Amino acid sequence: MNVTVWVPGDAGALALGAQATAQALVAGARAAGTEVRLRRNGSRGLYWLEPLIEVETPAGRVAYGPVRASDVPALLASGLLDGRAHPLRLGDIEQHPWLATQQRLTFARVGRIDPLDLAAFRAAGGYRGLARALELGPEATVNEVLESGLRGRGGAAFPTGIKWQTVLRQPPGRKYITCNADEGDSGTYSDRMLMEGDPFTLIEGMTIAGVAVGATRGYIYLRVEYPHAFRVLNAAIAKAREAGGLLGADVMGSGLAFDLEVRLGAGAYICGEETSMLESLEGRRGEVRVRPPLPAEKGLFGAPTIVNNVITLATVPTILANGATAYKDYGQARSRGTLPLQLAGNIRRGGLVERAFGLTVRELLEDYGGGSMSGRPIRAVQIGGPLGAYLPVSQFDTPLEYEALSAIGALLGHGGVVAFDDTVDMLEMARYAMEFCAIESCGKCTPCRIGSVRGAEALAAVGRGEDRDRQLALVEELCDTMLNASLCGLGGMTPFPVQSAMKHFAEDFRGRTRGG
Amino acid sequence: MNEQSILAIVERHRHRDGPLIEVLHEVQEQFGCIPAGAVAAIARGLNLSRAEVHGVVSFYHHFRTRPAGRHLLQVCRAESCQAAGGRAIEAHAKQRLGIDFGQTTADGRFTLEAVYCLGLCACSPAAMLDHEVHGRVTRESLDALVDAAAKAG
């Protein structure tokens, strides 16, 4: 007998023991006379159920989770390989409300296919977007992206089509497509999941960008903390080249060339800032550049360059394949399409929620997150990484879209939402924000380099109860200087978590006892 | 380390655009760090000044000038992990190994490092031991990891 079982190879699933589960499964089944054909997929994104395994049965894929290696003998005994009943049986995972209520466009294939199975990728709609882009030609492809309303998913939310148009209008010559995969914001992991779970989508998106603006070379700037994604991307790129005509001198028989390579970062948060990333790609210290010129005019090695985030580029294929209107129909106001939100921190059901813009913070935390992991009330969330504002409960009805968050002095960033329960010390979180900025500052501008160090010192002094009012006034002044005089977002946005903590959780800065 | 082996690495990458960081990655992979003597050789090989190479080595947290211990334990300090009890895990790791972040145990067995996000935020707190990732780390699971690594050598 021969049974196919899917066990995610996603780093998050591996961190929860997926490899041991896979081994126990193969060995246990073999002992009972059954060969398990192990297949690896990305994660479905329901991390509280990882390791989530799926057994192929005549009735379809039957999921079980969370399955630890120690659960395997009992599962096998109760008929796991026939998809039989067990307390860990979840049935068809796509019918699970947590997944069935999502609108997965960018993540349509993640968790469903073997990430390196090019035939499965194509069978599931892959490379339809590129084929259409080649039919449309450069101008119309760029217009399609413009029309879709897609905005940069890395955090800055700049309209992607405008960036592409700028590069398209530069005189022909050397141009580059660069993908920012330096996903350093705490609470975010959608780039990682996509690169590990459906790398061909990113490759297709970058190729579309290349043929649209006349660039022949692409770079994926990947953080060194993602060794799994590094392996998957390199294997996928090799396959796309071997498959003949997906990368290389003649993309899909169009006569157009496009190829790409992965470059590893070296542990610097600042290299997620686009100009710093370009410096790093050129092999230098990741110090930010003064703009103008914009990278779209003078970017990598001085040539016109598109810098887009992983999710932005990976969303382009669905836009081209199904048309700008289909994509634009999702979302609200000036936030069109879907956003892969990432639930993190102290949360019961953490994972990836791709929905049209507009879900409220509360809906995300309660309907999907199921409240805190600790069971205590959620007191604060930080949205958009270490430079994002802290929101108190009174702001939890804010919809998760660009303008609504901006209106309350917050930002959506890369869509990470980190929940904190009521044991959190917001003074300490504010001090940490300054400390993080000090650790990661590239050092080029003074407000960031010095302001962050002084800010952390002042907030530490507040914590010790020393000269509280004067120190808090100093922090306000430092924030003002950093906000208005820093060269880039690191110094310029570190005040967001600090000031929001001071404003909404003032009691923590006035000697509130922890947990009291 | 000898200059020949460094120059061989440089040779493999010099045709690429912006090769310095790629060279440094490979040097570190081969020698466990960027040895002091390597800077001059890399600079010569890539036609850069030593200051430029040193500047890059010292800018990036990932590059080290002294080799790490036989096992590298990286504990995430970022917000998501803090929200899920990561501070206690940090303290426990330091206490268990008897060292602070950035240090190596006297027997050369463990190096402890802070990292800022491993992208495992749905299963915080997270840590990485010798490139293996671990989520929902507890004091007990951390002890088990350290014990297993210590037994391995």
Tokens of A391: 């929101």
Tokens of A472: 């808090």
Helices and strands, counts by H and E, chain B: 7, 5
| Alpha-carbon gap: B73 to the closest alpha carbon of chain A (Å) | 13
Tokens of B75: 């504990």
Contact (CB, 8 A) for B119 and A224: no
Could you report the per-residue pLDDT of A293-317, keeping only the tens digit for each? Answer: 999 999 999 999 999 999 999 999 9
Question: Domain boundary residue among B59, B82, B99?
Answer: B59
**Does the residue B49 lie in any domain?**
yes
Tell me whether residues B80 and A14 touch, CB distance under 8 A.
Answer: no
Q: Which of A226, A282, A345 sits opposite B121 (nearest CB)?
A: A345
| Alpha-carbon gap: A219 to the closest alpha carbon of chain B (Å) | 11
Contact (CB, 8 A) for A102 and A354: yes
Q: Rounded to whole angstroms, how far apart are CA atoms A263 and A476?
A: 39
Q: Rounded to whole angstroms, how far apart are CA atoms B10 and B44?
A: 10
Q: How many residues does chain A have?
A: 516
One-letter amino acid at A454 equals R
The mean pLDDT of B72-94, rounded to a whole number, is 98
One-letter amino acid at A104 equals R
Contact (CB, 8 A) for A401 and A332: yes
Q: Rounded to whole angstroms, how far apart are CA atoms A512 and A427?
A: 10
What is the pLDDT, as a whole number, of residue A386?
96
ω into B67 cis (within 30 of 0):
no
Contact (CB, 8 A) for A71 and A54: no
What is the pLDDT, as a whole number, of residue A515?
42
Contact (CB, 8 A) for B61 and A286: no
Q: Could you tell me the strand order of the sheet in which A338-345 lies?
A: A351-356, A338-345, A416-421, A378-383, A390-392
DSSP three-state, residue A101: coil
Residue B10: its chain A contacts at CB < 8 A?
A: none
Please name the fold of domain A426-509.
de novo design (two linked rop proteins) (1.20.1440)
Q: Which of A47, A264, A352 sits opposite B25 (nearest CB)?
A: A264
Residue B25: its chain A contacts at CB < 8 A?
A: 224, 264, 266
What are the Cα distances from residue A508, in Å, to A100, A380, A427, A453?
40, 13, 6, 21
Q: Which of B60, B81, B122 sits opposite A47 (nearest CB)?
A: B122
Tell me whether residues B61 and A267 touch, CB distance under 8 A.
Answer: yes
**Does the residue B66 lie in any domain?**
no
User: Do B131 and B86 have their domain in common?
Assistant: yes
Given phi > 0 = left and psi -120 to 50 = alpha, else beta, which region is B104? Answer: beta
Could you report the per-residue pLDDT of A111-155, keeping only the tens digit for each? Answer: 999 999 999 999 999 999 999 999 999 999 999 999 999 999 998
One-letter amino acid at A437 equals C
The mean pLDDT of B16-33, rounded to a whole number, is 97
- Residues 6 or more apart in contact with residue A367 via CB below 8 angstroms: none
Question: Domain boundary residue among B59, B83, B99?
Answer: B59
| Alpha-carbon gap: A186 to the closest alpha carbon of chain B (Å) | 5
Q: Domain segments of chain A: what residues?
A: 2-95, 118-328, 331-421, 426-509
What is the pLDDT, as a whole number, of residue B2?
82
Tell me whether residues A418 and B61 touch, CB distance under 8 A.
Answer: no
Residue B133: its chain A contacts at CB < 8 A?
A: 11-12, 14-15, 228
Contact (CB, 8 A) for A72 and A24: yes
Q: What are phi and psi of A461, to 5 degrees?
A: -65, -40
What are the Cα distances from residue A420, in Å, to A112, A373, A414?
32, 10, 18
Residue B21: its chain A contacts at CB < 8 A?
A: 263-264, 266, 280, 283
Query: How far is C-alpha B55 from the chain's CA centre?
Result: 18
Q: Rounded to whole angstroms, how far apart are CA atoms A306 and A416?
A: 24
Domain A331-421 has CATH 3.10.20.600: yes
Tell me whether residues A186 and B123 touch, CB distance under 8 A.
Answer: no
Q: Which of A189, A282, A382 sits opposite B120 (nearest CB)?
A: A189
Determine how β-strand A338-345 pairs with β-strand A416-421: parallel
Which structural domain, as residue segments, surrounds residue B11?
Answer: 3-59
Tokens of A185: 């914001």
Q: Which of B17, B25, B121 sits opposite A344 (nearest CB)?
A: B121
Task: Provide the number of structural domains found in chain B.
Answer: 2
Residue A432: its chain B contacts at CB < 8 A?
A: 79, 82
Tell me whether residues A12 and B20 touch, CB distance under 8 A.
Answer: no
User: Do B80 and B142 have their domain in common?
Assistant: yes
What is the pLDDT, as a whole number, of residue A516?
38
User: Do B76 and B146 have their domain in common?
Assistant: yes
Tell me whether residues B117 and A185 touch, CB distance under 8 A.
Answer: yes
Tell me whether residues A12 and B82 touch, CB distance under 8 A.
Answer: no
- A2-95: CATH superfamily: Glutaredoxin (3.40.30.10)
Contact (CB, 8 A) for A161 and A145: yes
What is the pLDDT, as a whole number, of residue A514?
47
Question: Domain boundary residue among B38, B59, B80?
Answer: B59
DSSP three-state, residue A494: coil
Residue B136: its chain A contacts at CB < 8 A?
A: 15-16
Provide the strand spans (E) within chain B: 71-76, 103-104, 110-115, 127-129, 132-134
Tell me whether residues A224 and B136 touch, CB distance under 8 A.
Answer: no
Tokens of A261: 């390579």
Tell me whether residues B121 and A225 touch, CB distance under 8 A.
Answer: no
Kindly report the average pLDDT of chain A as a whole number. Answer: 96
Instruction: Name every residue in B having a CB less than 8 A away from some CB of A.
Output: 17-22, 24-25, 52, 55-56, 59-63, 78-84, 115-124, 126, 128, 131-136
Tokens of A369: 């997150």
User: Do B31 and B77 have their domain in common?
Assistant: no
User: Do B86 and B26 have their domain in common?
Assistant: no
CATH number of A118-328: 3.40.50.11540
Report percent pLDDT > 90 for chain B. 96
Query: Residue A336 pairs with which residues in a beta bridge?
Result: A331
User: Do B55 and B95 have their domain in common?
Assistant: no
Residue A185: its chain B contacts at CB < 8 A?
A: 117
Q: What is the mean pLDDT of each run of 10 residues along chain A (516 residues)?
A: 95 98 98 96 98 97 98 97 98 98 98 97 97 98 98 95 98 97 97 98 98 98 97 98 90 96 97 97 96 96 98 98 97 96 98 97 98 98 97 98 96 97 98 97 96 98 95 98 96 98 97 52
User: Do B42 and B108 have their domain in common?
Assistant: no
Tell me whether residues A284 and B116 touch, CB distance under 8 A.
Answer: no
Tell me whether residues B119 and A11 touch, CB distance under 8 A.
Answer: yes
A70: Cα within 13 Å, side-chain hemisphere: 1
Tell me whether residues B62 and A373 touch, CB distance under 8 A.
Answer: no
